[in-house]
Amino acid sequence: MEDTCAAAGNLILNAKRIVVFTGAGISVESGIPDFRSKGGLWERFAPEVYACYETFFLEPKLFWELSDEVARIMTDAKPNAGHLAIRELESLGKVRAVITQNIDNLHQAAGSNAVYELHGNCSRASCVKCKQRYTLDEVKSLRQKEFVPYCTTCKSSDNLIKIDVILFGEPLPPTTMQRAMEEAQNCDLILVVGTSLQVAPASLLPSIAKVTYSVSVAILSDDGFCLMWTSSSSSSHPSLRNGSLADRRRLLSEEH
């Protein structure tokens, strides 16, 4: 374990342009459960119904029922040691960009600057038609009158307000995706933290990285993780499983 962490730390030490790719696992420690885990949000709110882009226009009430539950889960969440360690690596000039599948705004709250949110952000909202932006307080005020909020600026018949998260069936933001791809292609090390890389097309980003080494850190449970890396000159995949939380923190925060 010590040798594996030291080797990964050396990769971080020697890298000049690191890109960090994060998923739900990094935020579990902040009190936000993985939606896909057993007992998670998707067991209570079928995503093909409540988080479907097409259904949003047909029955927006369902989306807002889901949004209320997401807000309840995320309202008090704070950045944890993982978010702060990534911010620290950025302040040291190591991390050039954070690409995240998360919608919780915790990377920004931790102080990271170059954050590309592939699936949006639950801390803001906008009209789906005219793109007028709304704060959550403004949305809350509108919803005191009716459960589903409508844009007060746009006169369109489709002037629904939606939290700025990407729903199933909704295209990823093209500019964000393009810039994320460019960062991945130009990095010399990619850290994959807290994601099983199962959701495409975002999951394809690490595979397009033109890197000498690829380091992957995947949180498997609340108190463990799996670390593996691949050298472009070797087909070996050393791995570390069931590492402690302290090991994960040390890898990200002390081995720079």
CB 63 within 8 A of CB 110: no
Q: Which of 83, 119, 237, 256 is catalytic?
A: 119
CB 255 within 8 A of CB 12: yes
Active site residue 256: no
Helix/strand/coil (H, E, C) string of the chain?
A: CHHHHHHHHHHHHHCCCEEEEECHHHHHHHCCCCCCCCCCHHHHCCHHHHCEHHHHHHCHHHHHHHHHHHHHHHCCCCCCHHHHHHHHHHHCCCEEEEEECCCCCHHHHHCCCCEEECCEEEEEEEECCCCCEECHHHHHHHHCCCCCCECCCCCCCCCEEEEEECCECCCCCHHHHHHHHHHHHHCCEEEEECCCCCCCCHHHHHHHCCCCEEEEEEEEECCEEEEEEEECCCCCCCEECCCCHHHHHHHHHCCC
Residues 35, 14: Cα–Cα separation, whole Å: 35
Radius of gyration of the chain (CA): 19
Question: Which residues are identified as catalytic?
Answer: 119
